[in-house]
Structure formats: structure tokens, C-alpha cells
Amino acid sequence: MFGLVDCNNFYVSCERVFQPRLEGRPVVILSNNDGCIISRSAEAKALGLKMGDPYFQVKEQLRRDSVQVFSSNYTLYGDMSRRVMHYLGATVPAVEIYSIDEAFLDLGGLEQHLTPYLGNLTDLAQRLRVGVKARTGIPVCVGVAPTKTLAKLANRLAKKDAGLGGVLYLDSGERRAWALGQVPVGDVWGVGRQYAQKLTAAGIDSAADLARVSESWARKFLGGVVGARLVRELQGYPCAGLAPSEDGTLRRQSISCSRTFGRPLRERASVLGALSAFVARAAEKLRRQGDLAHVLTVFISKSRYGPDAGGHSRSAVLTLPVPTSDTRELTARAAQLLGRIWEPGAVYVKAGVVMAGLEAPGGQQLGLFGEAAPLAAGLYPVGAAVEGRSAQMMAALDGLNARFGRGTVQLAAALGPKGGGPVPWKGQAAWRTPAYTTRLEDLMTVN
């Protein structure tokens, strides 16, 4: 049995924890660069504001309706997320952190222990909900069902129907059938815009309809094995298990960093400066996860809008001879890759780096004859010695940046233009709230 805990309007809820005056008022959070809406309070949704609405298009409405607008504050959201996940991890046997604001729970086998002394799974879910709210201030809803897809569906209904008290347990075939009938097919987990269109054109309108299609039909029209699994999960047969997080953090298979620039850039040095900063950030994440990257990708994009839309992005990939997490090595490689795709005269609006082929250190460190055991003292392979020095250097870098703030120590390549001035690629964040929980200077003062 799976549980799904999903924070309600997570980013808005985080801001409300520190600004109670925002309760009951329409609030939206903007994406990086204050580009578009990525989180809305219930009141903002009621005003017709949509996920992904570009800010410049809804600016007037936001003003007219007195909507409270904030730039995103990922430092704060990340820290609040850790608190929620930590509580869940301490309360149930296994948790899979699915995203910053969602976690799957393993509730298998729990039911018999609960009855009658502790109540049923619905009661447990209720206690979780109350517990998260009490400890973090974040409201959540919980869905419980035999498959992940059904747990998502239950969660969605728990959110929509206030009468359910924030919790829905699909504990019988009848209740599952009822739930499937309530949900439009486009709201099923795994059905996006393209598939929704295809499905409704074929007369499949609800999750219940989708649960009735044949496996071959699902394979043919919904992306092969993915579609087949989706339908099975709706029918109540689990096709995916829980991937528990051992240390309460999310382990990634690739790590990236990309940004839309504050203004379009045409000078290669400026784009390289941005890329260097992105490499530094991504490598930091990589080291925090304790991994080395074997594959590095760099991409640069021209505008998606306006007359020359289409064919707007180019990328270059490199398999590194030796996996690394060293910012200096990765920065040098990224510069090489940029050289392969750079078009003089073009104007770029965005760039990014992706690190993939992640592996733990040591995995590739076999000796000349493939031996895994350590050699005699003083005879470690050269690669390991280099890696040791690099690791020390990077640990020192991370330590300084952790203590004195991100970007305290960085490569010269990642700095802005000589002589100071604004960093050319930095974007807008006009309404960012303080990092209340992670920066001493930003602690709230109570008078």
C-alpha cells in the first residue's frame, strides 16, 4: 500500500509560514527571472490565474486584484522541504522523496499493526497531516492506495473535496471505481497534453475509461511500455515500487544548472562567464551527492519567441576520460564544448550544463591490471593521487562557500566583467523574501 503526501501550493505555503498576513489572500510565486507563475494560492487559482502564465501578460490583473507577488526563494523552500521530509522519515518505515513537495510512503503491512489500537490507515494519514502542519506550518494532503498512480489520484481528490478532510484512502474496489470516475483523463498522473488530446478524441474521457483500455491499445497510443504500465496501475496492479531515500535526500542520476539570462548576450566571454557559474553550481550539487560525472553537456539557446523560433538550441556532449567533480576541470571542458557550438553573431538568451553518467568515487579506480585491492603503501595509482588532491581542494572550496555564503570563492572565469558592474547574465528577482531559516542575517526579529 502506498501513501502520497503532497504539500498544498508548497511555495506559497512556505511564504505564508513567515508572513501570516498572507493567509486568505491571493498569492503567487514567480519563476526564476520573475518570468512566469509557478505557484498559486487557492485564492489566486479562483481568480483564474494559471500555472505558467507569463508575468508580463497577467501583470495588470495581479495589480487590479491585489495579488501578492513574490520571486521564488529556493533556499527557503529547500529547507522547508527538508523539514517536512525529515518528519515523514521519522514517522513511517520508508519514504521516497519524489520532488521538493511530494513524498511516497510505504504503508504496506502497516494496516494490521494499526487495528484496533491505533485505528486504520485513514487515521494514520490524518495524524501525518496534522503532524506536518504542527511541526513545519505546511498544509498537506494524503492519498492512500494500492499503486502509486492510484495514490496520486486519491491525493488529488483529497485536495479537491474539502469534505474529505485532506485524506482519502481507496480501500475497496467500490471506492476505487468511484474515484476513477471522478477524475478527467487529463488529470491522471502520466497523461500530459498530447495524450489527453489523443484520448478524448478516442472517446476516453475519465480515468475510469482509461482503466478499461486494452494493453495493446495502451502500448500503441501511449508511449509503449509506459502506457501499458499506466493502465495496469489504474487497475490496481502495482508496476512501480518504492525507491526509499536512505539519507533523507534525493539522489539524482543527472545534475544540471541552466538559466535564462537577464538580457540577451552576444559576446562569447559573457556566455562563458555564465557557463562557468553554472558549472560551479552543478559541480557543487554533484559533490554534495558524493558523485563524479562521466559525461558533460553544454547547451546554448536563442530565443524561442519572435520570428526565428525553431532550431533555437544547440548542444555538445563530451565523455570525460576520467570521471570528475572538480570545478576547474569541468569548467575547462565546458569552455571547449562551447567552442564547438558557438556561432559568431548569434544572440543567446539561455545556457546550461548537464552532468550525467554519475558514479561514486572509487568505482573506476582500478589499477593497471584491474585489481581492486589497495597496492602497497606509496604505490597508489596516479589517478587516485590526483583525485585526492582535487577532492581536498574542492572540499576547501565548498567549506568556505558554505560558511561565508555561496560564491565567496569562485573561479575568475565565473566572475562578471572586469572592473565590477552588473553580472551580464543575472536575472530579475525583484520580490524575493529573506532566507529566514538558513542565513543568520535573515533571521526574523520579533519586536
Partner DNA sequence: TCTGGGGTCCTAGGACCC
Q: Which residues bind DNA (CB under 7 A)?
A: 31-33, 35-36, 38, 51-52, 54-56, 98-102, 152, 188-196, 223-226, 252-260, 263-264, 281, 285, 305, 315, 317, 319, 349-350, 352, 354, 427
In the complex, minimum distance from the CB of residue 258 to DNA, in angstroms, rounded to a whole number? 3
Q: Please, which residue, 263 or 266, has the CB nearer to DNA?
A: 263
The answer to whether the CB of 352 falls within 8 A of the CB of 290 is no
In the complex, minimum distance from the CB of residue 326 to DNA, in angstroms, rounded to a whole number? 18
- Looking only at the bridges linking them, the beta strands covering 140-145 and 2-7 are antiparallel
Alpha carbon distance 101, 159 (integer Å): 14
In the complex, minimum distance from the CB of residue 395 to DNA, in angstroms, rounded to a whole number? 20
Sign of the four-CA dihedral 435, 436, 438, 442: positive
E strand map for 245-342: 255-265, 293-301, 313-324
Q: Please, which residue, 116 or 307, has the CB nearer to DNA?
A: 307
Q: Please, which residue, 68 or 149, has the CB nearer to DNA?
A: 149
Q: Please, which residue, 94 or 196, has the CB nearer to DNA?
A: 196
Q: Please, which residue, 73 or 260, has the CB nearer to DNA?
A: 260
In the complex, minimum distance from the CB of residue 143 to DNA, in angstroms, rounded to a whole number? 11
In the complex, minimum distance from the CB of residue 406 to DNA, in angstroms, rounded to a whole number? 13
E strand map for 283-411: 293-301, 313-324, 348-356
In the complex, minimum distance from the CB of residue 120 to DNA, in angstroms, rounded to a whole number? 26
* DSSP-based three-state secondary structure for 430: coil
Angle (CA) 264 270 274, round 5°: 90
Q: Please, which residue, 322 or 396, has the CB nearer to DNA?
A: 322
The answer to whether the CB of 129 falls within 8 A of the CB of 88 is no
Alpha carbon distance 210, 150 (integer Å): 13
Backbone φ and ψ of 402, nearest 5°? -70, -40
In the complex, minimum distance from the CB of residue 225 to DNA, in angstroms, rounded to a whole number? 4
Alpha carbon distance 252, 345 (integer Å): 36
Query: What would the grid cell of residue 26 be?
Result: 491571493
Q: Please, which residue, 35 or 236, has the CB nearer to DNA?
A: 35
* DSSP-based three-state secondary structure for 46: helix
